[in-house]
């Protein structure tokens, strides 16, 4: 669950294509994005999830997979169990844009 405080801090106008086109312009901006998990893995110092972006509904749940604008990676310094974060599951994340991979 994403807190109300975090929800107030994000810029909902920032889209994945905008960041892909000009990543430096959006570095350190806060966003809420979501979609369908494509893969997840744990590395020595972080967990990484690859997400097929989808629009979010009013409750910030993934909708309309056919309107995806691409893929993004999300990272966590915490261990995320890959059984819980497995391919095909919906995910919504709040985070800070660090760039493109």
Quick check: is 31 in a domain? yes
8 A C-beta contact, residue 80 and residue 44: no
Rounded Cα distance, 79 and 26, in Å: 27
Range of the domain at 76: 4-96
Q: How many domains does the chain have?
A: 1
Quick check: is 101 in a domain? no
pLDDT in tens, the chain (101 residues): 899 999 999 999 999 999 999 999 999 999 999 999 999 999 999 999 999 999 999 999 999 999 999 999 999 999 999 999 999 999 999 999 998 87
Predicted pLDDT of residue 71: 97
Q: Is the pTM of this model over 0.95?
A: no
């Amino acid at each position: 669950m994403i807190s109300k405080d975090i929800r107030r801090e994000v810029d909902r106008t920032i889209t994945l294509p905008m960041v892909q086109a000009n990543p430096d312009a959006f570095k350190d901006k806060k966003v809420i994005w979501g979609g369908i998990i494509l893969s997840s893995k744990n590395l020595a110092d972080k967990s990484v999830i690859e997400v097929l972006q989808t629009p979010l509904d009013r409750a910030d749940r993934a909708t309309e997979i056919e309107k995806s604008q691409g893929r993004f990676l999300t990272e966590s310094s915490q261990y995320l169990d890959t059984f819980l974060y497995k391919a095909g599951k919906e995910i919504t994340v709040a985070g800070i844009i660090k760039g493109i991979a």
